[in-house]
Amino acid sequence: MAPSPRGSSFSRVLLLVLALSVALLAPVPAAATSVFRVRRKFPRHGGAEEAEEHLAGLRRHDGRRHGRLLGAVDLPLGGVGLPTETGLYYTRIELGAPAKGYYVQVDTGSDILWVNCIRCDGCPTRSGLGIELTQYDPAGSGSTVGCDQEFCVANNGGVPPTCSSDSPCQFRITYGDGSSTTGFYVTDFLQYDQVSGNGQTTPSNASITFGCGAQLGGDLGSSSQALDGILGFGQSNSSVLSQLADAGKVPKIFAHCLDTVHGGGIFAIGNVVQPKVKTTPLVPNMPHYNVNLKGIAVGGATLQLPTNTFNSGANQGTIIDSGTTLAYLPESVYKTLMAAVFDKYQDISIHNINDFLCFQFSGSVDDGFPMITFSFEGDLTLDVYPHDYLFQNGNDIYCIGFLNGGLQTKDGKDMVLLGDLVLSNKLVVYDLENQVIGWTAYNCSSSIKIEDDKTGSTYTVDAHNISSGWKFQWHNSWILLFVITIWRYIIF
């Protein structure tokens, strides 16, 4: 899908600054300044029994995620997190006038924003996450999208759906794990804060179209980890990002930098000028962020693999997906990679725990194990250090974050799926205007510079860590501070 062109008359840059910190998992009161706090969906687990169940839960999450990505999916679920945290992230957004708050998962793998609607069938009314769920009422300031409207036709493959013009535009999505959502589209206001000076903001809003969920099925209706919906940052024209770009509010470029070391982070919409990021082309006409992987090296030695191993095509290729926690490789690649990683530890005792390879090791894993390097088209590389792909799961017990894709659904056994295991602690830039994606290793607790595309001025966007305002508890959940800021623009 070709990107929407950026209007030359706009110098506004939308900055969505996400600050991660470690904090208590307690309900967050509505913020008067429309600051969106995004938190990890699951807390860290402690003892051995909890750790094993935690691994099982992690596999279930990624298994469901994998099925959703590989099916004919319009709205996969996702998020981000450390393996030992089982982390999806969610944020609180505000919709309508007057605005009401909704907790939604943040996901680069899905396109539209959708929330559960009032009188929803099968939608949970309580959440095990300790948050208050709210069902959206379209009878407020919202308006229903009709079958004959452009948004509806575009989301039906460009063909008018078989319903009368005065009927609501409906959607139904069935995921690979059997869960589903059904509803209709509405248009209403998304509330945000506009930057009016250094450290100063003024309230603003934009009209967007999103899904109103009328019925949920399967895991989506479970109350244990229930949220109000999903906020997608995919590349289709139906995404919130695309709608804001089409309205001249933002360029169609965003970046994230999630710090799993210090608990800080940045999420920004706008042209990142510092640090410089090398890019690789996105594979055209793909529903996800697909790239061309050329090879893998372990400790500097390139793995000897068949030349067609990383071909792009149906049920093949490489997907960059922040909604997947781990990384999945075709079986032949996985076995070759594991042999190279453990080459000097032939006698090490490896145990299988919920399809994870785990072992006992004392000392520094960075000193004891090799770095893994993925090479992509355009001479872009992605370095994955031992402390990235080996996560501690108890005293001197480590598990490998790479999993055998052959154990997934048969349609995905030949795919490479790279999740936050390899993306954390890197600035990742999604430039949909030029159809490229890139990254660089970065201190996500520092800052980046965003360019105002009209004036050429640059603005520093700092990472935020709000742990000083909370009781610091490393073993409890993370929190993101999700601040939307917009720089003024001039219309000629």
Give kind and range of the element (H or E) at residue 60.
helix 48-70
> Cα separation of 14 and 301, whole Å?
42
pTM equals 0.77
Of 109, 104, 106, the C-alpha closest to 129 is 104
What's the pLDDT tens digit per position in 355-387? 788 999 999 999 999 999 999 999 999 999 999
Contact 191, 95 (CB under 8 A): yes
Active-site residue flag, 379: no
Q: Choose, from 62, 111, 219, 321, the residue flagged as catalytic.
A: 321
Residue 465 in this model has a pLDDT that exceeds 50: no
Average pLDDT over residues 468-492: 27
Judged by average pLDDT, the poorest of 135-149, 164-178, 263-277 is 164-178
Amino acid letter, residue 45: H
In CATH terms, are 73-266 and 277-442 the same topology?
yes
Give kind and range of the element (H or E) at residue 367.
helix 365-368
pLDDT at position 466 is 26
CATH architecture of 277-442: Beta Barrel (2.40)
Q: Domain residues of the chain, as ranges?
A: 73-266, 277-442
Contact 321, 393 (CB under 8 A): no
Residue 427 in this model has a pLDDT that exceeds 90: yes
Active-site residue flag, 107: yes
Give kind and range of the element (H or E) at residue 152.
helix 150-154
**In CATH, which superfamily holds the domain spanning 73-266?**
Acid Proteases (2.40.70.10)
Average pLDDT over residues 346-353: 88
Burial class (CB in 10 A: 0-12, 13-18, 19+), 217: middle
pLDDT at position 8 is 37
What's the pLDDT tens digit per position in 113-149? 999 999 999 899 888 878 899 999 999 999 999 998 9
Q: Choose, from 62, 74, 107, 111, the residue flagged as catalytic.
A: 107
Amino acid letter, residue 82: L
Whose tokens are 């996901």? That residue is 107
